[in-house]
Structure 1
Amino acid sequence: EQAEEELNAANVAWQAQEQLLLELRSKAAGHLHERQVLEGQIHRAEITLVSLREQEASRQRELVTARQRLAETRVAVQDIASERLGLVEQLASDSALLENLQQEIATQTQVVTDSQDQLAELKARMVAANQHLLGNRELVRKAREELEAVNKQLYNLELRLSRLEADCDGMVKRLEREFAIADRAGLHSTLQSRIQGEERQGKLQEELLLLGPVRVGALQELERLSERIAFLRSQEADVLTSRQSLEDIITEIDQIMAKRFSESFAQIRRAFIRVFQELFGGGEAELRLSDAEQPLESGIEIMAQPPGKNLQNIDLLSGGEKALTAIALLCATLEVKPTPFCLLDEIDASLDDINTKRLMQVIARLAQDTQFILITHSKETMLAVDTLYGVTMPEHGVSQLINVELSDIES
């Protein structure tokens, strides 16, 4: 609008100068003695008219340029608005999914914590049971020692019994000889029954020692432990179910990540091939996954074929070719996923003037979506930027920052 107002003002001034020129010419025809003065005024008016016409043409060009920039800006604003709506929707979806996952993880974490507490309690009970078992083993050891002592006593008693039987036989013989007692069988039967009774009593005492002390609440303890084991088994089943649910969620997340990574990788691959050819002025390039079946764990192989060379791995290229290939990959990534801000520190240090010009053409295209700050010593890079900042030292130990708006100088 300002340019149109200036253009209208220039037209009015031009018309005024033409009117003045006509008046001067009429006066020159009628007044010959004022001819020289009028001719000078006419000459100045013609010069002013030419200047106004040049200004009018310049304003026309500026107006056309401003209208083009306005149209491009409107298109860019519409694209940004559309992209913003898409990002807002995606952010809302991702936030909802993240919230659900966090709630599920919190629930499963609580279940795992409860299971760990129950497991710790069960381990404590197992330790107590082991200690009780050790105590029972100690009682068994003592019972065995007592049994050995009883067996030793029994051996002594058997030895004594043998002696008594020998004495008894001697006494029976003496009774037969001296007192003529003939009922030897009855006497022997009586003695044998006594011996068997003593043996039966010894065996029952050994069995009682092996059984140990009687526990009155053993059945109730067994029932309580059985219920506890059943409860812990149900808790274990819940933990296993939760674990399977978490594994399913992780698998689903991995699938979503793998899908998004594959889509982004395909876009970056196409952009990399295009930017590589633009920077090298031809050639071929390729991005490959070392393991396409596992994209999230796979490495990335970069193949490059500069003009006039064979297709080979990036490790076999020269230093400048490696740097330019890496720059192509960086620019391709920024083209697919632009960032609001990008700082490049002497990225053109290993490039010649021709490659630097090509790089600046790519950066100029990317600058529509990303603000770039370049640290450089290259003249070609300095000539291609919009604003140039420099640090000088007019005095020792005193730094001074200067800036030049190259866009204003060009206009």
Structure 2
Amino acid sequence: FMEIASETGEIKKAGSKLQKLRSKFTALKTRRSEFKKRIDDLKQKIRESEEELEEAEARAKQVKESIRELREEIDELSEKAKNQENKSKKNQEKIDSLKEAREDLRVKEAEIKTELKEAEKKREKYDIKIKRTPRTPIKKLRGQIKKLEREIEKLKPINERAIESYKKVKKRYDSQRGHYDKLMDEKQALLDFMEEIDQKKAEVFMETFKEIAENFSEIFSELSPGGSGRLFLENPEDPFEGGLEIEARPAGKKLLNINSLSGGEKALTALSFIFAIQRTKPSALYVLDEIGAHLDPENEKRVAKMLKKSSEESQIVVITLKDAMMAVADRLFGVHMDKSNISHLVSVDLEELA
């Protein structure tokens, strides 16, 4: 009975642990779905904004071309209106001059008529004959007046059509210009929205990067006691326009770029980076293949310890032949082949054996 009770307790314990792992897995899966939905929403907003921006730019291009054509038409009509205005001004000056000349002639005509009347009165009074030799015959003066009036009438009709056409085109231009300005405002609003999204992306990225960088430095120091490592961006001002650099200083060595490290040091640095990401944004499952191939025994133990610690947040599957790695596993799976070349899977629960 004691054995049954013990096994029942172990089963309950395993069931409880399994339930916790399932709860963690579900929570991580939900979190992952939320992040994915958020990313998809942002991508969709960016796509829609880009499409709207392209449409606005196309409309703006058409309106801009219409404005250019209207501007040319306005310039042409404006020049015509200006010429017409100058011509009208000159004509008006000429009309005023002709009117003045006409008035002078009328005055002369009146003076001559008065002189003739006076001469006629004297002739009748003194009964004398006066030779009519006025300086300017009245008939000739009247002819000159008529001529001046005809010239005035010729100058009076002013072509108002050019000015009217100018006003109409100017009105169309103002309307198109208003439409163009509205499109430019819409375009700027879209650009501001996209800039806001890019800024949010950059903020989220930098927050995540900063946390990963801190975790990387901490984890590298744990895996390589006495050593140090850091992550930095090639272009911190515009992180999406540059890459990510890793520098590491294994214990007893100078600070080196990752490309200058040995195979084991590179493996340790890469694992530090993976663990840093996992600590910042844990995934539900990790599969690691032969990660201890280039590690010495001491580093194997430290990496195995880190794997055990990380397994509290995620499920980790490690393919390895290293004893240090297998020693910290909760369960081992082995594959062997029998004499008939048939593969068989063997599973061992190390927690039960413990």
Matches within 5 A, 1:12-23: none
Residue 269 (structure 2) pairs with residue 325 (structure 1): yes
Residue 332 (structure 2) pairs with residue 390 (structure 1): no
Structure 1 Cα separation of the partners of residues 207 and 294 of structure 2:
33
Q: Indicate the residue corresponding to 1:373 in structure 2.
A: 317
Q: Is this contact kept in 2: 1:387–1:403, CA < 8 A?
A: no
Q: Is this contact kept in 2: 1:389–1:401, CA < 8 A?
A: no
Displacement, 1:76?
6.6
Q: Indicate the residue corresponding to 1:161 in structure 2.
A: none
Identical positions, percent: 25
Structure 2 Cα separation of the partners of residues 383 and 402 of structure 1:
22
Which residue, out of 237, 242, 262, partners 2:206? 262
Structure 2 Cα separation of the partners of residues 321 and 98 of structure 1:
38
Query: What root-mean-square deviation, in Å, do the aligned CA atoms of Structure 1 and Structure 2 show?
Result: 4.3
Residue 238 (structure 2) pairs with residue 294 (structure 1): yes
Q: Indicate the residue corresponding to 1:243 in structure 2.
A: 187
Structure 2 Cα separation of the partners of residues 241 and 290 of structure 1:
35
Residue 306 (structure 2) pairs with residue 362 (structure 1): yes
Q: Indicate the residue corresponding to 2:282 in structure 1.
A: 338
Structure 1 310/290 Cα, relative in aligned 2: closer, same or farther at 3 Å?
same
Q: Is this contact kept in 2: 1:382–1:388, CA < 8 A?
A: no
Matches within 5 A, 1:111-122: 111-119=56-64
SS across alignment from 2:209: helix
Structure 1 376/79 Cα, relative in aligned 2: closer, same or farther at 3 Å?
closer
Displacement, 1:280?
1.9
By relative contact order (CA 8 Å, sep 6+), the higher-ranking structure is: 2
Structure 1 Cα separation of the partners of residues 314 and 61 of structure 2:
51
Q: Could you tell which deviates more after superposition, 370-379 or 312-321? A: 370-379
Structure 1 361/284 Cα, relative in aligned 2: closer, same or farther at 3 Å?
same
Which residue, out of 197, 217, 224, partners 1:280? 224
SS across alignment from 1:331: helix
Residue 336 (structure 2) pairs with residue 403 (structure 1): no
Structure 1 Cα separation of the partners of residues 274 and 27 of structure 2:
25
Select the structure that is richer in helix: 1
Write out per-residue CA displacement over residues 124-167 of structure 1, whole angstroms, 9 at most, x where no aligned residue. Answer: x69x99xxxxxxxxxxxxxxxxxxxxxxxxxxxxxxxxxxxxxx
Give the TM-score normalised by the residue count of structure 1.
0.51
For structure 2, list consecutive stretches of 5 or more residues without a partner in the other structure.
Answer: 74-158
Which of the two has higher C-alpha Rg? Answer: 1
Matches within 5 A, 1:121-160: none
Q: Is this contact kept in 2: 1:305–1:311, CA < 8 A?
A: yes
For structure 1, list consecutive stretches of 5 or more residues without a partner in the other structure.
Answer: 1-8, 11-54, 130-214
Matches within 5 A, 1:20-39: none
Displacement, 1:325?
0.7
Displacement, 1:68?
9.4
SS across alignment from 2:241: coil
Q: Is this contact kept in 1: 2:231–2:244, CA < 8 A?
A: yes
Write out per-residue CA displacement over residues 360-398 of structure 1, whole angstroms, 9 at most, x where no aligned residue. Answer: 222222223333333445454455542324364855xx6
Structure 1 80/373 Cα, relative in aligned 2: closer, same or farther at 3 Å?
closer
Structure 2 Cα separation of the partners of residues 78 and 339 of structure 1:
14
Give the TM-score normalised by the residue count of structure 2.
0.58
| Aligned residue-pair number | 266
SS across alignment from 2:201: helix
Matches within 5 A, 1:192-203: none
Partner letter of residue 410 of structure 1? L
Q: Indicate the residue corresponding to 1:195 in structure 2.
A: none
SS across alignment from 1:406: strand
Which residue, out of 54, 59, 64, partners 2:6? 59
Q: Is this contact kept in 2: 1:281–1:307, CA < 8 A?
A: yes
Displacement, 1:328?
0.8
Q: Is this contact kept in 1: 2:279–2:310, CA < 8 A?
A: yes
Structure 2 Cα separation of the partners of residues 84 and 120 of structure 1:
53
